[in-house]
Structure 1
Amino acid sequence: MHILPKSQRKLAVFLINMDSAKKRLADMNARLDALGLKAERIAGVNGRELKYPIPEFSEISYMLMHGRRTSPPEIGCYLSHVACANKFMEGDADIALILEDDVVFEDDFLDAIDEAVLNGSDWDILRLTTVSNGRKFPFRPLSNDRSLAVALTREKGSGAYLVNRRAGKWISKLIPMRLAYDIAFDLEYLSGLKAAFIYPLCATQDADGESQIQNNLRIYRLPRWRYFTVLPYRAYLETSRFLLRGIRLLVAKAKVAMEGGKTNAVSAGN
């Protein structure tokens, strides 16, 4: 447990790491030590060792909504993130930093997340990495030329992110699995939650250039004709994401503008 110096909020740090990935663990702990952070290791779930079917995974929904056969690596990743949320909800921390073990941090990482926590009313999920390059729309300036920003299109990857207790509770209930994790938790807007990025990013993913999840996912794809259920669902998600996050972006910008107006009024009065 850490106390963030500016916001004074209690931060728990969870690191997902497979038992076989000992070098990744050592490297990640060294990078965290440089920031003055200690993480609680959460043993990554090895989806290839599970005996299917399992109640935590809906195979039929996964095929219809995601368009893949049962993918043990994605199932293991999903259940590992849910395990982090469960662990967070068992404790009394205000905020959780959830990490995969291939993240590299910028020098101002801790300052950036602390300042974002000071503006915690702007988000429930704060994404710190992405493997996509979609445009981010800033709405609240932070220090070091960073901002809180909203993405209007799908963003892949779940290497590093912050969640408050509202989002932690939501993630802990994302069972049974119906989608890959980075898709499922990119749908926060459908549950009335707010997501934001720190942008430019204060961390990057895939430190060693080799993903333990994404490799060879092609073998789990269904024939193209089976996508007759997936494509309409994806179209619905993209449309709803653009509309709902777009509205949220406008509201967030208006809120920041109003706060700036009040600050200027107070300064003028003094």
Structure 2
Amino acid sequence: MTNNTPPVFLINLDNSTDRLHESQERLAPTGLTFERVSAVYGAKISLDEKNKFYSAELNRTQYHKPLSPGEIGCYMSHLKVLQHIVDNNIKYAVILEDDFKVVADLNSAIASLSDIPFDWDMIKLAEYGNRERPTAYEFKLNDQFNLRIQQKVSAGTCAQAVSLMGAKKILNASIPFGRPVDTDYQHWWEKDIEILTLSPCPLKQDLEFDSTIAAMSKGLQFRSAFWRRKLQQMTQKLNNKKHTQRVIKKYMNLNENRA
């Protein structure tokens, strides 16, 4: 650990002491310390607070079913960390949920963030589950890690680094919200942010247990609006392709200028 190590925040429900202990055990070999952030328990927030952050009107236009209290609480938990980053003028930080496991050199991965030669918003440090999204463009960061632009940003919010600039943009564009947090990040162009992925990812979502954060982010079994969902998926696919091509051109130019 060095003085340049960014803060690490762990989102964890107050009653999920087993997951907190597991997270401590998994980070202990790295020597990294973290600050626990009490997750927002969506079922217990007031109606006024819910209406401040969650818009049923946006939800009807942006998503195919209403969000569950857990999904609302999960999104609010991430916004809580981002607000802390902004309030404390933190250059960048690592944000974890309590379902991660370390699969590579996490210290070197975090240290590599300081090698990025340009301003950035968000760097994914884990893929979603066992899925790896195809790469649209990749460039060398250092001898150990590359940065990837995925054809479609991976779902899930198990582990990511967020810069001060990125936190400000997300907060500005996310209150109120109408989608789950990971789905909203897949519409990154709406927030004027860019999301890259560190390769190889140093962390992985642990599928052997049910994280309390992952569990509360699951939706209720509402009847989905099938055709509305299909239209939303088609629109997202077109927008994602257009904006991904724009970002690829930008980073190809940056990469050529580094050579």
- On whether the aligned pair clears a TM of 0.5, the verdict is yes
Deviation at 1:188, TM superposition (A): 2.4
TM-score for the superposition, normalised by structure 2: 0.87
CA deviations on 1:196-223 (whole Å, 9 max, x unpaired) are 0012211101264324335794643324
Residue 106 of structure 2: aligned partner: 109
Residue 17 of structure 1: aligned partner: 12
Q: Answer yes or no: is the 8 Å Cα contact 2:156–2:182 preserved in 1.
A: yes
Deviation at 1:120, TM superposition (A): 4.9
Q: Using a 3 Å threshold, how does the CA distance of structure 1 residues 71 and 255 change in structure 2: closer, same or farther? A: same
User: Which stretch shifts more, 80-89 or 249-258?
Assistant: 249-258
Q: Answer yes or no: is the 8 Å Cα contact 1:139–1:256 preserved in 2.
A: no
Residue 56 of structure 1: aligned partner: 53
SS at match of 1:38: coil
* Structure 1: gaps (5+ residues): 5-9, 261-270
Residue 264 of structure 1: aligned partner: none
Residue 34 of structure 1: aligned partner: 29
Q: Using a 3 Å threshold, how does the CA distance of structure 1 residues 218 and 73 change in structure 2: closer, same or farther? A: closer
Matched positions, count: 253
Equivalent residue runs for 1:2-13 within 5 Å: 3-4=3-4, 11-13=6-8
Residue 267 of structure 1: aligned partner: none
Structure 2 distance, partners of 1:247, 1:84, is 29
Structure 1 distance, partners of 2:20, 2:258, is 43
SS at match of 2:162: strand
Equivalent residue runs for 1:67-86 within 5 Å: 67-86=64-83
Equivalent residue runs for 1:173-252 within 5 Å: 173=172, 174-206=174-206, 208-212=208-212, 213-214=214-215, 217=218, 219-223=220-224, 226-252=225-251
Moved over 6 A (4+): none
TM-score for the superposition, normalised by structure 1: 0.84
Deviation at 1:30, TM superposition (A): 2.3
Structure 1 distance, partners of 2:192, 2:122, is 12
Structure 2 distance, partners of 1:79, 1:2, is 31
Deviation at 1:145, TM superposition (A): 4.8
Q: Using a 3 Å threshold, how does the CA distance of structure 1 residues 189 and 120 change in structure 2: closer, same or farther? A: farther
CA deviations on 1:23-54 (whole Å, 9 max, x unpaired) are 11011122223222211111111112234453
What fraction of aligned residue pairs are identical, expressed as a percent?
A: 21
SS at match of 1:148: strand
Equivalent residue runs for 1:145-160 within 5 Å: 145-160=144-159
Structure 2 distance, partners of 1:244, 1:82, is 24
Structure 2 distance, partners of 1:138, 1:244, is 13
